[in-house]
């Protein structure tokens, strides 16, 4: 797989080029080499925890399905349960 998706502005080059540049940036910043996919997943999790809708994260990632994004960022049952609890709290306040 080449990994080049010209229509996707988030990934203007090949995965290899992005990985190479990312590792160089991490080394220059003296950040532990945690891997770009770990950083990418962390971005999605932090965004989701901050209230960014899955559909927006999906668009950023270029996933074809919100279910793929939810799986990728690790939206587990505990996170979904916590979200439902917050919704119930809001619902009860409004009624």
What is the structure's pLDDT at 1?
Answer: 36
Total of domains in the chain? 1
Q: Is residue 4 part of a domain?
A: no
On whether residue 21 sits in a domain, the answer given is yes
Residue 64 lies in a domain: yes
CA distance 89 to 39: 32
- The answer to the question of residue 10 being in a domain is no
Q: How far apart, in whole angstroms, are the C-alpha atoms of residue 62 and residue 67?
A: 12
Q: What six digits make up the tokens of 54?
A: 């899955």
Query: Which residue range(s) make up the domain with 56?
Result: 15-94
Q: Is residue 82 part of a domain?
A: yes
In a domain? residue 9:
no
Print pLDDT tens along the chain (95 aa): 344 444 555 656 676 777 788 888 888 888 877 777 888 888 898 998 899 999 999 998 888 899 999 888 887 766 778 888 998 998 888 76
Residue 40 lies in a domain: yes
């Amino acid at each position: 797989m080449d990994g080049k998706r010209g229509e996707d502005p988030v990934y203007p080059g090949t995965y290899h080029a992005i990985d190479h540049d990312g590792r160089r940036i991490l080394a220059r910043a003296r950040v532990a080499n945690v891997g770009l996919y770990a950083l990418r997943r962390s971005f999605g999790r932090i965004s989701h925890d901050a209230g960014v809708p899955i559909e927006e994260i999906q668009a950023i990632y270029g996933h074809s399905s919100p279910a793929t994004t939810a799986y990728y960022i690790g939206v587990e049952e505990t996170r979904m349960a916590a979200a439902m609890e917050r919704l119930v709290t809001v619902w009860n306040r409004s009624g």
